[in-house]
Amino acid sequence: MKKIFCLLTLAVLLIISVIPVCAAGTEINVNKTAVKISEKDKSFKFDVNVKSPGKFAGVELGIECSDNLNLSKSTSTAGSMSAPPTEAKGMYWTSFFEGDNKLPEDVTVTLEFTCPENTINSYVLIKEVNILTKDGVGVSTEKLNPNIKVIAGTSQSVIDQAISENNNIGNSGSDSDINDKNDTNSNIIQAEQSNGSSQKSNVADSNSDIAASLKTGQDYNITDTAILLFMIIISLIAVAVLCNYRKYNKKGHNGKYYKH
């Protein structure tokens, strides 16, 4: 009977573990997809907004950019610990985190890039975003690939083309998106969870438990959820079979119990 109770408890825990996986996905937003800079400007910046269904422990951004740009600084509205921009695997990486799931559902990261004077055309690609959630002694990682592209330069024709392309794929764009850095009409792009197994995270060394656990995260997607549900069903069937088997061993073929 004790074994049956343990199996039932396991099935319940599996059901509970599926609930966060089925929750609404994380959204990645940018406050502009085109930045008009003057001929003498040597830097520019824009915001990346992360909206998660619940509180989490950290966020890590993987950023690709053109050769004439350098990610010089990153700041965030939350996270008492951080890893400054560092290069790895052909991208810049930066992260912000806490020792537990204390980051709010809405976090904004400001990215600042340096560029040479009279930069006619350049681009930034928000290629990867990892949402880190403390899970017991480990850290689970939700890997997102938003692939949000931001164009920056002095060429008005390049800026206009970028806005036109964003409009064609359903993202709003206007002059206010270029000139007003505080514009709240952000271009929202729903990030999709990528398929795959555990993803190795690139982050600067840190003494925090979250940073040390970045490599242990596991990706979740619809396929993983289906597998978990299948496991739950199998567990329940196994419990039912075990119960019937125990009853059968205690009875004779005529339905009476044997005396020992």
Structure tokens at 140: 């689970």
Tokens 């599926």 -> residue? 18
pLDDT in tens, 184-214: 333 333 333 333 333 334 333 333 445 554 4
25-219 domain in CATH 1.10.3260.10? no
Q: How many residues does the chain have?
A: 260
26-30, 114-118, 148-152, 242-246: least confidently modelled range: 242-246
Domain ranges of the chain: 2-15+223-250, 25-219
pLDDT of 200 = 36
Closest CA to 50 of 124, 113, 105, 125: 105
**pLDDT of residue 7 exceeding 80:** no
pLDDT tens across 244-260, in order? 666 666 655 555 544 55
Provide CB contacts within 8 A for 249, sequence distance 6+: none
Higher per-residue pLDDT: 213 or 240: 240
